Amino acid sequence: MPELPEVETTRRGIAPYLEGQRVSRVIVRDRRLRWPIPEDLDVRLSGQRIESVTRRAKYLLLTAEAGTLISHLGMSGNLRLVPIDTPVAKHEHVDIELESGLALRYTDPRRFGAMLWSTEPLLHELLVKLGPEPLTELFDGDRLFTLSRGKSMAVKPFIMDNAVVVGVGNIYATEALFAAGIDPRREAGSISRARYLELSLQIKRILAHAIERGGTTLRDFVGGDGQPGYFQQELFVYGRGGEFCKTCGSTLREVKLGQRASVYCPKCQR
C-alpha cells in the first residue's frame, strides 16, 4: 500500500506538469472505486485550470478554479502522466486530459482508491479529523507523550493512528520504532517523554529520507511505469522477520499488532 513518502513522491512527480494547465476533458472508464466517482466530474473539471497539487496525509488535492479533486491511491493505485493518445491498458480507470497534450492517468487494479470532488476539501469528512503532518512543527514528542497518557494500547498502533499523526504507516512505524530502540509491543502510556522525543525525531528522519529516495526517479512519472524509487530503500526490520538484525546480529521476531505484522529486534528494542 502506498504510504506518505510514496504519495509525496507522486505529488512531486506530477505537480510540475499539472499546475497552471487547463483540463480539456475527463474520461472515466470505471466509477466503481472505494466510493463511486461523481458522475458529473467531467462537467466540474473540464475547462478548469489546475492551480495547485498538494497533499494532506495520503490524499492528493488537485485544486482547480471551481473546486478540488481529492484523490487517494488506495492499496494498489498510481497516477502517472502519459501522452493523450497512449493506448489504454487493463485497470486504467480515469484520464484527466490536459491542453498540453498529456493526460493524468489513474490505474488501480483493486479499485480501493478514491476520486472525489469538494469545494472545501480540508473540511471534507475524510480530512477534517486528521492529525498533524509529521514533517511539520505541529508534530513532536511532546504531542505523542501527552496523547499517550493513560493508554494501554501498544505503541505501534498508537503512532499509526491518523488522529495522532498522519502518514506513519506500517513500514515507517516499524522502522522508526527500531531506530528509537522502542519495542512495538510496549504500552503507549508507559513510554517516557524523552523516548517519545527520540521517536518523533526518528519518524521525521525516516520519512524525509524515504521521500528523498523516491525523489530520485521523478522522471518515471512521465511516460514511464509510474513506479518511484521507494522500493529500493534500505529497510532494517520491516518484512525481515526471522532474519538477522543488521545492528546486533540477533534474530528478528515477528508478531501481530493491530492486525498488522510487526518485526522487531528483542535485543535492540525495549
* Residue 136 located in a structural domain: no
Residues 185 and 238 in one domain: yes
* Residue 167 located in a structural domain: yes
SS3 for the chain, per residue? CCCHHHHHHHHHHHHHHHCCCEEEEEEECCCCCCCCCCCCHHHHHCCCEEEEEEEECCEEEEEECCCEEEEECCCCCEEEEEECCCCCCCCEEEEEEECCCEEEEEECCCCCCEEEEECCHHHCCCCCCCCCCCCCCCCCHHHHHHHHCCCCCEHHHHHCCCCCCCCCCHHHHHHHHHHHCCCCCCEHHHCCHHHHHHHHHHHHHHHHHHHHHHHHHHHHHECCCCCCHHHHCCCCCCCCCCCECCCCCCECEEEEECCEEEEECCCCCC
List residues forming the annotated binding site: 91, 110, 151
Residues 107 and 147 in one domain: no
* Residue 18 located in a structural domain: yes
Residues with catalytic annotation?
2-3, 58, 260
- Kindly report the pTM of this predicted structure: 0.90
List residues forming the annotated binding site for DNA: 91, 110, 151
**Domain encompassing residue 226:** 141-264
* Residue 255 located in a structural domain: yes
**Could you list the pLDDT tens digit for every one of the 270 residues in the chain?**
778 988 999 999 999 999 999 999 999 999 999 999 999 999 999 999 999 999 999 999 999 999 999 999 998 889 999 999 999 999 999 999 999 999 999 999 999 999 999 999 999 999 999 999 999 999 999 999 999 999 999 999 999 999 999 999 999 999 999 999 999 999 999 999 999 999 999 999 999 998 888 755 555 555 555 666 654 557 899 999 999 999 999 999 999 998 889 999 999 999
